[in-house]
Amino acid sequence: MKKLMLLFFALCFGYALQAQTTTDAAITKVVKKQQVQNPAAYACPKCFHISKGIGQCPDCKVEKVQLGTYYCPKCLKGTGAKAGNCPDCKTASAQMTRKYCAKMGGTQMKKDMKEKTNS
């Protein structure tokens, strides 16, 4: 009977130890995912102004495109998450990134915030 109880406790302890290891691995995986993700930002495909808000650009009245997605430079519409051609005009899509916006002469969020506070 003692051997049976000892075996039972050993199995319970082993199961608890294995469950703790699995939980730690799952938590580590979630933490790593959170560190990789960037906050969502959007850019106007016409003036390349970057902001956190979704909707229309207040200056150009054009729908904003999320950074990291592709858009049509001719139609100024978002085309999706993969490179390809615009379904409307068949123009090659371009990826909207911070580097691309800076190259095209757009303003960054931090610069805009400094200008608003100085005004």
Tens digits of pLDDT across the chain (119 residues): 778 777 887 777 766 666 665 555 556 555 444 443 456 889 999 998 888 888 899 888 999 998 888 999 898 888 888 888 988 898 999 888 888 888 888 666 544 444 444 44
pLDDT of res. 51? 87
Amino acid at 84: G
Residues 6 or more apart whose CB falls under 8 angstroms from that of 97 comprise 67, 68
Is residue 109 exposed (0-12), middle (13-18) or buried (19+ Cβ within 10 Å)?
Answer: middle
Query: Closest Cα to residue 107, out of 51, 40, 59?
Result: 51
Q: How far apart (Å, rounded) are the C-alpha atoms in residues 1 and 80?
A: 66
